[in-house]
Amino acid sequence: MTLQQMISASKSIVFFGGAGVSTESGIPDFRSADGLYHQKYDVPPETLLSHGYFLKHTKEFYRFYREKMLCLGAKPNDAHFKLAQLEQAGRLKAVVTQNIDGLHQLAGSKKVYELHGSVYRNHCISCGKQYGVEKILQGEEIPLCSCGGVIKPDVVLYGEALDDRTVAGAVHAISNSDMLIIAGTSLAVYPAAGLVQYFNGNHLVLINRDPTPMDCCCELVIRDKVGEVLGQITAE
C-alpha cells in the first residue's frame, strides 16, 4: 500500500512529529549534523537549556533562548498545512509533537499535544501568572512578573519532567488510532519516543531522512523531507 492508500483507508490517524517537521520552515534541528549541537558556544546547548542552568544563570539562558529558540518569524510548511487539512477532513485525530514552535496551530491544527511545551506560553515561577511571548521579547534581560518573580517559558528543559496531562492525552490518542505516522524524528529522545509503543492500529509509517531504530517495525518507511512527502497527499 502507498502512503495515500493508507491515509485514505484510515479514520483516526495520529501524527507523531519531531524537529524534522520544522526544518523546512527554517527552524534548526537540535540533533542533526548542522544543528545547534554542532555550533560553537562556551557551554553546550544541552547545558544552556537545562533546568539548573535556567535557575543559576537566568540572564545567559535568556540570551541564548531569545537568539536561538525563539523563531517567531518561521512559517508553517506543507507538512503543517496538510495535517491541518486532514484533521478538518475528519481523518486525523491528533498531532503529537516534540517541537515548541507552535507551527501546527499556526497552520490551523486544533488538537495538538506539545510534549516539550511551547515558546508561546510562559509563567511566573513565583506566583504562576501566565504570560504570552511578547513578555519575553520585551527589552528586559530577565523577564519579571508584576510580583517580582522570574518568568519561565513553558518549555520542558533538560532535567524537567514532561507534563502529565499532555503525555496522557498523547497516549490516549495514539492507543486509539488506526494509523500512526512518525515523522522527522530520530526517536532518540525518551520518554517522548516511548509513546509510539502504545500504537496498536493498522498502519505504521515512518518519514525521516535518516535511519531510526523503528524502521524495522514499520509497514512503510519513506526517506525524504516530511513537507515534500505530505504535500503530495490528498486530504479528502
Residues forming the active site = 116
> Is residue 223 part of the contact set for Zn ion (CB under 5 A)?
no
Least distance from C-beta 151 to Zn ion, angstroms?
A: 8
C-alpha closest to that of 24 among 98, 97, 76: 76
In angstroms, how far is CA 26 from the centroid of its own chain?
14
Residue whose CB is less far from Zn ion, 57 or 135? 135
> Do the strands 117-124 and 151-155 form a parallel or antiparallel pair, or are they unpaired?
antiparallel
> Is residue 125 part of the contact set for Zn ion (CB under 5 A)?
no
Using the rule CB under 5 A, give the single segment among 48-56, 142-150, 159-167, 194-202 that binds Zn ion.
Answer: 142-150
User: What are residue 17's DSSP bridge partners?
Assistant: 97, 183
Q: What is the grid cell recorded at 210?
A: 535518516
How many positions of this chain bind Zn ion (CB under 5 A)?
7
> Is residue 9 part of the contact set for Zn ion (CB under 5 A)?
no
Q: What is the spatial distance between Cα 173 and Cα 111, in angstroms, rounded to a whole number?
A: 10
Residue whose CB is less far from Zn ion, 57 or 123? 123
Residue whose CB is less far from Zn ion, 66 or 129? 129
Residues 219, 205: contact at Cβ < 8 Å? yes
Q: What is the grid cell recorded at 125?
A: 515561577
Q: What is the spatial distance between Cα 183 and Cα 145, in angstroms, rounded to a whole number?
A: 38
Residue whose CB is less far from Zn ion, 133 or 189? 133
> Is residue 145 part of the contact set for Zn ion (CB under 5 A)?
yes
> Is residue 127 part of the contact set for Zn ion (CB under 5 A)?
yes
Residues of this chain that interact with Zn ion (CB under 5 A) are 124, 126-127, 129, 145, 147, 149
